[in-house]
Structure 1
Amino acid sequence: MSILMPELLNTFGKSKAETALVQSITVGMLFVAGTPCGMYVARYGARMTGIIGSLLVTLGLVFSFFAQSIPHLIVTLGVVSGIGFSAAYISSLTSVGEHFEGKSKFMALAFLTFGSGCGGIIIPFLLNIFIAEFAWRGCLLIMGGLMANMICFFAVCKPVLIGLPHISTNESKQSDSETKSNRNNYTKSLKSLISNKVYLIHVVAMCCTIPVVNSSLVFMIDFLIEKGFDSETAILLYTYLQIGKTLCGMLPGLCKKYIPHSNVLLVPALFTMIGSTVASFLPHAETYSEYVVLMVCLGMTLGVSITTISMTTMKLVGIFDYSAGLGVLMTLLGISNSIAGPIAGHLADVTGSYTTQFYGISASLGTATCLFVTAAALRHYAKNTPSDNSESTVEVTP
């Protein structure tokens, strides 16, 4: 969507802060809707939820063709398509988890993650071609047609459980009892999370990392064009960022495989430190080679951070509190994503350049680095915390 940013600025003539809401709300809804979409997957299955999500994505893109204002795009592209993307994403992960077991499951999930990264590399070029030929409205219409193919793909995802047996009265009462028990367990999980200082610090650090880097992506193409690059070169540089994000997304898993006793919080700490340095240098880069290196490094920071969301949360809260812990983190990331873009746009509007924005990103990533290191130290020395006990229990259980 960063490719659309210059087009939307030229078409509607609004401030960068207001225009940034379109992409920020889209990404924000992707995270915020994660918890309710996960509940729908559990109740209605991955196939049905995936079909509905794909339909929402298509409708959001198609109705964006008629947009006459930024608020129109916020509703259609941001809210409707954002929720659809969330449902489709969670349904695809669930479907893979249902149909694969053991090492095959991890290979399938890795292939799925790598495939999404490849999409992030290819789609900007497609968008640029479509915009050049059909303008941005025609581009959204074509992308809506392409996304409609997901409906067919989810339709052939055969559910693991074809049908459910007849439920007797006793079974219904037992089911109601289990539902109440699950709600009580969820409440206990939330109380456990509040007392888990390492987890809370980790959540704040993540909210200072992923939304902040995403806010830079909103204006990245426009920033590169202002630096004197033509649109094709700017898109190529943006592609290098996506390459770094895709390749380094596999790094945390490799670290845990070959260095099993490594602290899961030190890996994101290292890359947020790299990202902080990169963000401070980006406004002052001069040569094409410098931009290539900096863009790849910034992509590495984002790739590692996204990959460590689920893995680090599992390690910090344990399997029993995992769903609650991940849901809380995803919701807060969604809210942070929704406001980070407009804040970055407001800074650019006030100062007239993107320099202050990148300095702010550097400061935020530096803060995240300190938080990750602090959480790692607390986790290392606090051996009797609930998260460590739950983690050790999970690892010992065959």
Structure 2
Amino acid sequence: MRARRFLSGLALTAALLGSSMGFAADESFSVAGIAIDKTAATAAQARDAGISEGQTRAWRRLIERIALGGDTSRLMGFTDKDIAPLLEGFEVEKETSSAVRYLGTLTYRFRPASVRALLRQVGAEELRAAPKPLLLLPLFRDGDKSLLWEPMNLWRQAFAARPLKTGLVPLVLPKGDEADVAALDPAAAYDATPLKLDPLLRKYDAYEGLVAEFVNAADGGSVTLRRSGQAIFNERFPINVGESREAYYERIVTRLQAELEAQWRKDRAVQPMTATGGDAGAVLETLAVTVPLRNLADWIEVKKRLEAVPGVRSAALKSMTRTEALIDLALTAPPDQAARNLAQRELKLSQESEGYVLRFQASAPAAPAPAKAP
């Protein structure tokens, strides 16, 4: 059972927690899955030493994750004493111990304001996390059998045991209640498109669906990740000798979360992000884009959201009617990458028969057209 713990009992408790006992609100500053295996004269000593060692690894992983550019070598060399004032606390995912050994998996949470100040000092930019989570659908396949919502889906249980909302790419696992089951069956989940997932995306306030398909095999299995019906990752995972099924799935889930973060970082590191809005990179392409509108408020909201999208230099308004705006969208990233960045702001860029169309997906359904006069 997962237990929430703070650094009580350690010599560095006061320095770590100060007067605040709350965790940081920004989960991109939380580092999960730090495995500890430490031996000492007693289990308590092993635990304290392991937790202290784990915070150093968590700190380095955090800097590798969120820092873009700058000279971060000094930050990577921080000692326990340097890191202590930056740490908000930690949470135990799981733990066990013997007389002289401690084994655990922990989530460390750092103070966003303090870390950001250090990034500025070394000239590094902060890589921001996705503002909304991906909807995670763990699909288990074994021959002609497919499991998605079923309690016996161990693949789903492996994700349920992890803190999915930490890091750069937060995930949300549906509850699997009657409404979820009615909204999507395993056959439809295989190549789920945003249209198929729309009820679930709205229910869980997610911007896109991610299907994590595990195909069982005699030596382990293989995993494919799909977004909007398109494969973005595929890899075989042989099971190790003596490895339990729980540890096997845990290893894969850790790998998948790291892969999602790596892809997010790669997409956003191509062009530097600026705090003032509007990407400063060279314009690669300018698209003529139609923006469907219900009213003026829609255009104001779309324009505001466009100001903070990496890969978009500007959106020049060419004309506007009551139902649509025509804009020239200047991109500093390839259209497919810009489309992914726009999706984080609930703006869907697609190429349709009439050309490029940009839709504000958070808008309420349009009112029905007035009936024609007889």
TM exceeding 0.5: no
Higher relative contact order (CA 8 A, sep 6+): 1
TM-score (norm 2): 0.28
Q: TM-score, normalised by structure 1?
A: 0.27
Which protein shows a greater Rg?
2
